[in-house]
């Protein structure tokens, strides 16, 4: 047998797909409505009264392309954290899965791939809505789902690793407040990071959400549409989070 059996990984993913069929309508609805509300509030409201353009780009298009990163992190990190904790601690789902010929490495791989695929699709919703608000489609936009998928893998691994480390579900509040919220604010979604203090600009360069925002805007507006260094950094981060998630969940699941 190989180290990672594709059949085992697909088995984990098929369970998630079957479960997703029971609530996909509400999840899809919120994934469509949230970016639309943000665009109406910030793009059209703030954009028509205070800010018209940013770096030569209409503010509604600036916000809409940046909202891709927001959609990715909230559809990957949070479901990974809460979903993993609930399935392990309350539902005992992972105990049942590990009773089959599936190990922790295959379990984590299947969970991350499913979350990455789902977030890769949900992440494109803000971009599609922005096109409806007037953004011109560009061929390089076809790369956006892949950018979202890679970033979502990293945050899915991060969420699983956190769920495998905390003792109580209430401790997720520390993670969302101290990690996810600062990443969200320093990603350059609503304003360019060049207006931030120098130390905040430096921190933003290590923010994976900012890297995704730059990649999406590059693909949308034609500014260096292919940036291998930024994409390579996201790939390395996804791999590191994958290994960390396996380690943390193995410690939690295997006595």
The token pair that represents 19 in the structure block = 């479960």
- Distance, in Å, from the CA atom of 139 to the CA atom of 130, rounded to the nearest integer, reads 15
CA-based nearest residue to 68, from 41, 39, 26:
39
pLDDT of 45: 66
104-124 pLDDT, tens digit per residue, is 999 999 999 999 999 999 999
Kindly tell me if the per-residue pLDDT of 129 is higher than 60: yes
Is the predicted pLDDT of residue 184 greater than 80, yes or no?
A: yes
Burial 38-64 (b: 16+ CB within 10 A, else e): bbeebbeeebeeebeebeebbbbbbbb
Q: Does an H or E element contain 54, and which?
A: strand 53-54
How far, in Å, CA of 177 to CA of 170, rounded? 12
Instruction: Name the phi and psi angles at 54, rounded to 5.
Output: -135, 120
Asked whether residue 185 carries a pLDDT value surpassing 90, the answer given is no
- Taking the C-alpha atoms of residue 236 and residue 103, their distance in angstroms, rounded to an integer, is 23
Give the residue carrying structure tokens 């981060």: 237
What would the pLDDT profile of 8-30 be if each residue is shown by its tens digit?
999 999 999 999 999 889 888 88
- Can you tell me the mean pLDDT for 191-206? 86
Tokens of 177: 């407040």
What's the rounded Cα separation, in Å, for the pair 94 and 85? 10
Q: What's the whole-model pTM score?
A: 0.92
202 pLDDT band, cuts 50/70/90, is confident
The pair phi, psi for residue 157, each rounded to 5°, is: -60, -40
């Amino acid at each position: 047998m190989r180290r990672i059996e594709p059949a085992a990984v697909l088995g984990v993913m098929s369970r998630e797909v079957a479960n997703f069929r029971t609530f996909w309508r509400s999840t899809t609805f919120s994934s469509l409505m949230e970016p639309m509300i943000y665009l109406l509030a910030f793009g059209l409201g703030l954009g028509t009264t205070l800010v018209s353009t940013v770096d030569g780009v209409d503010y509604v298009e600036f916000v809409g392309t940046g909202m891709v990163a927001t959609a990715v992190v909230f559809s990957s990190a949070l479901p990974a954290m809460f979903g993993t904790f609930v399935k392990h601690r309350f539902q005992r789902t992972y105990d049942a899965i590990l009773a089959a010929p599936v190990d922790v490495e295959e379990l984590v791989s299947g969970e991350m791939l499913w979350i990455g695929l789902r977030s890769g699709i949900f992440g494109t919703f803000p971009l599609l809505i922005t096109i409806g608000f007037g953004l011109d489609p560009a061929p390089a936009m076809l790369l956006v789902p892949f950018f979202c998928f890679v970033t979502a893998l990293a945050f899915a691994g991060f969420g699983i690793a956190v769920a495998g480390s905390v003792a109580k579900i209430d401790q997720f509040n520390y993670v969302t407040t101290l990690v996810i919220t600062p990443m969200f604010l320093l990603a350059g979604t609503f304003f360019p990071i060049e207006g931030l203090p120098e130390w905040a600009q430096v921190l933003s360069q290590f923010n994976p959400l900012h890297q995704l925002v730059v990649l999406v805007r590059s693909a949308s507006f034609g500014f260096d549409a292919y940036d291998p260094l930024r994409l390579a950094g996201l790939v390395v981060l996804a791999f590191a989070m994958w290994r960390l998630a396996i380690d943390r969940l193995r410690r939690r699941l295997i006595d």
